[in-house]
Amino acid sequence: MNVARGFMLSGTNLEYTRFYNQRVVLEAIRLHEPVSRAEIARHTGLTNQTVSNIVVELLERGVVQAGDKRVGRRGQPALELRLNPEGAFSIGLHLDRDHLAGVLMDLKGIVHRQIHYEARMPSPEQALKLMQKAVLELRGQAKPPDLWGIGVALPGPMEMESGRVVAVPNFPGWQDVAVRDWLEEHLGVLV
């Protein structure tokens, strides 16, 4: 057992590291596009090989697009990379005391569709079914794997680890509601 200052050390989950590095590369492309692989490595601190492996995967999935080749002073011309705005989508839902609003957005944050449903003080069951209806309507053009996830805003505190609503003041029945689990089970998309 490795022990440092009284704490047990644990290993790193390589799958999580891969996912995290992918997010770092996507963010570098978003902030600096058009950008070359070498520039991404400089911006992120990742190795050239790691960046190259991630970029190849993102190109194959259609999330990133290759642009023009930029001729430098030495070596092969660098390929300019950009986000493909329609390479992936996400959905945002906002439930309030009198309505549910939703948007379908691309990787650049451009809203492709919006919905709005009136719903006065819905019970958890009513709200979850309305959220399901909203997601199905919004994602008409974007299905997994193009739909990367769903973000949900609720009028009360939520435990991030469990995805459960703790309690919503003056909102009957909203104590310990497993919003994330219910939506993931019924929609097959990360929430």
* Average pLDDT value for residue range 79-101: 93
CA distances for 114 relative to 84, 104, 163, angstroms? 21, 7, 24
Is CATH 3.30.420.40 the right assignment for the domain spanning 87-187?
yes
CA distance 172 to 97: 11
> Which of these CATH numbers, 3.40.640.10, 3.20.20.70, 1.10.10.10, 1.10.8.10, describes 8-83?
1.10.10.10
Determine whether 100 is exposed, middle or buried from the number of CB atoms within 10 Å of its CB (0-12, 13-18, 19+): buried
Q: What is the per-residue pLDDT across 122-181, written as a single tens digit (0 to 9) for each?
A: 999 999 999 999 999 998 855 556 888 899 998 888 888 888 888 888 788 888 899 999
Instruction: Between 162 and 116, name the one with better pLDDT.
Output: 116
Residue 48 — φ and ψ, nearest 5°? -60, -40
pLDDT band at 45 (very low <50, low <70, confident <90, very high): very high
**pLDDT for the residue numbered 72:** 67
The domain segmentation of the chain, as residue ranges, is 8-83, 87-187
Of 62-66, 72-76, 138-142, 172-176, which gets the smallest average pLDDT? Answer: 72-76
Per CATH, 8-83 and 87-187 having the same topology is answered: no
